Structure 1
Amino acid sequence: MATPLTASRLLKALRDEGLVVHEVRSWRTHNRNSKGPWAPVHGVMIHHTATEGTDSSVDLCYDGRSDLPGPLCHGVIDKKGEVHLVGNGRANHAGLGDGDVLRAVINEDAELPADNDADTDGNRHFYGFECINLGDDKDPWPEVQQTAIEKVSAAICRAHGWNEHSVIGHKEWQPGKVDPLGFGMDDLRGRIKQRLAKAAEGAPETDGAEPEGGAEPEGSAETGDGAETGGAEADGPEPTSSESGSEYASYEPFPGGDFFRPGASSPLITAMGERLVAEGCDHYRVGPGPEWTEADRASYAAWQHKLGFRGEDADGIPGQVSWERLQVPNA
């Protein structure tokens, strides 16, 4: 189980792995989180675009289509081996896939089960990278592009402490998908394993110009806590937090910021406090208990700071993004 990397940490991880990275428009706050949760993250999913041309492919992955809103991934890997970041948060790339595959990824199993079900929301749990290729099994995969796919995967695995078995192809997740077509995922995972056995290469040299992006703006911390924005919709039926058979249905949905006010009393507040204590965000002298207190607010503010939120986004009043990441069990 892992909290997603902030935009700045993702950018740093990719550049530290020796990649040339381009920041596309407002990628740091571009997501579909309002359509479903983003977290916990468990792995990296690789796709091909079925398109050609860098600019048009990047624009498509940023904007999406009328029937499938963008972002369609977190980053696009072009034929030159350069990465174009287009989203940060929930992205519309994985769709519904096989829960058995997700469990194998979580366990970092060497062998994946067959993807014969579409019962689990993959947009919640996977970083997604689209690689520019027609996907006709004829369009070549330049070595520099394959190396970039390897580096991107290794960078994220390194940042989370995962191994190569946390990287899968779309074709290994969702029944009927064939991407990425043209190279083997087992071969890719073997290369990722070799790369993770060594230290990261370090950021590539530039012409002296400051890299695009830089530090994440204070107070922005991805989408901003409490903002009703974010991540990509599923490629198919819209999943819900109470979806039948989901292993995540035992978590409390976000009750709204107005729920947490002086005088409020609920077992939900006790459950929240117990999770905050478990996360090391403990400002309680007594409790936690069912009544909303200043100790609850201070403890929750510590949780928001731990996630990277600042300013008004770390005022101690739960917002949807931080609440979903806290994963409060049903009370």
Structure 2
Amino acid sequence: MAISWLADVLRGAGVQVVEEGNWLARSAGSGFDPIGVLWHHTAAPSSAANPAPALTVCIDGRADLPGPLCQALVDHHGVFHVISGNRANHAGACRGSGPIPAGDGNTLMIGWEIDYAGDGGGGQVQEMTQAQYDASVAATAAVLTHLGRDASHARGHRETSTSGKIDPSFIDLDAMRADVAAAMGGTPPEPPAGTPFQTWVANVNVRPTPDTSGAPVGRLASPTTVHVVCEAVGETVTAEGYTNDRWARISSPVAGYISNIFIQGPAQLPVAACPI
């Protein structure tokens, strides 16, 4: 089926859209019945001056693979360049991942090619920009809502690839799904069993709201807001807490600290985090 609604759904989510040519007629064959969204990176270094270096390749394809190579390319500024409303050659053979069954990934998933170098693409190491991430989360949430699917139907290429793909680099895909779920107004999927307590931040206390003077968070109630107290810089960050009775995800915007803090445990949670 064609997804002629794609550009309108993205705009409705507040995503900036550029429609690239006759995208509704652009197709990589027949057989397209998507149930999910797949994130990629292009491995092309992007910049403010050259925000979409892989756009032409994603439209026209390569010598070994005809285009289109995705439904949309996400440029350095978070702009969605809509390339195709039909089947695209982006996923290849798919192994089962979450609710996505094994099979033809190009049939099963809508693909975003997020234009950044990743882990050494073009001789550079480059992370996704915040604008790219935020736009991709909003777009994924809107598309999955339109498809009637939940956030677990958002996957990364490395989760479905049968050929060892590593994209999208530097993205915690469980955290991505939590953000997509929050954008959809729902409860995020639980992290895999055995996910460790991790913060990557030295000297942090985690406290519930209201602040109980450093008492352990314990079993989290829903809804809950969680505070992260970054004592090393004397700054308190009120962070998002998406919780059921087992876990919460917290994002800290404090400079020099890595976000996507996971707290997990069916009983009490530690007050002090592990340093780097």
Normalising by structure 1, report the TM-score.
Answer: 0.51
Aligned equivalent of 2:83, options 70, 83, 86: 86
Structure 1: gaps spanning 5 or more residues: 107-118, 199-331
Q: How has the CA–CA distance of structure 1 residues 157 and 5 changed in structure 2, closer, same or farther, with 3 Å as cutoff?
A: farther
One-letter code aligned to 1:188: M
CA distance in 2, matches of 1:105, 1:124: 11
Q: How has the CA–CA distance of structure 1 residues 185 and 51 changed in structure 2, closer, same or farther, with 3 Å as cutoff?
A: same
CA distance in 2, matches of 1:84, 1:191: 22
Task: Tell me by how many angstroms 1:19 deviates.
Answer: 0.5
Q: Name which of structure 1's ranges 55-64 and 15-24 shifts more when overlaid on structure 2.
A: 55-64
Q: In the alignment, which residue of structure 1 is the partner of 2:100?
A: 105
- Give the number of equivalent residue pairs: 177
C-alpha deviations, 1:151-199, integer Å up to 9, x for none? Answer: 111110111121110100000001301000011111110101111008x
Aligned equivalent of 2:64, options 57, 64, 67: 67
Q: In the alignment, which residue of structure 2 is the partner of 1:329?
A: none
Q: In the alignment, which residue of structure 1 is the partner of 2:115?
A: 132
Normalising by structure 2, report the TM-score.
Answer: 0.61
- Identical residues among aligned pairs (%): 31
Q: Secondary structure at the match of 1:191?
A: helix
Task: Tell me by how many angstroms 1:140 deviates.
Answer: 2.7
> After the TM superposition, which segments of 4 or more aligned residues of structure 1 sit over 4 Å from their partners?
none
CA distance in 2, matches of 1:55, 1:165: 28
CA distance in 2, matches of 1:76, 1:42: 19
Query: RCO higher in 1 or 2 (8 Å CA, sep ≥ 6)?
Result: 1
Task: Tell me by how many angstroms 1:11 deviates.
Answer: 1.2
One-letter code aligned to 2:38: M
Contact 2:75 2:132 in 1 (8 A): yes
Matches within 5 A, 1:152-301: 152-175=139-162, 176-197=164-185
Aligned equivalent of 1:96, options 93, 97, 116: 93
CA-based RMSD: 1.7
Q: In the alignment, which residue of structure 2 is the partner of 1:51?
A: 44
Task: Tell me by how many angstroms 1:101 deviates.
Answer: 2.5
Structure with more of its chain in strand, by fraction: 2
Q: In the alignment, which residue of structure 2 is the partner of 1:234?
A: none
Contact 2:6 2:85 in 1 (8 A): no
CA distance in 2, matches of 1:43, 1:123: 11
Q: How has the CA–CA distance of structure 1 residues 74 and 105 changed in structure 2, closer, same or farther, with 3 Å as cutoff?
A: same
Task: Tell me by how many angstroms 1:135 deviates.
Answer: 1.5
Task: Tell me by how many angstroms 1:56 deviates.
Answer: 3.2
Task: Tell me by how many angstroms 1:55 deviates.
Answer: 4.2
Contact 2:39 2:113 in 1 (8 A): yes
Task: Tell me by how many angstroms 1:10 deviates.
Answer: 1.2
CA distance in 2, matches of 1:168, 1:153: 10
CA distance in 2, matches of 1:179, 1:158: 24
One-letter code aligned to 1:44: V
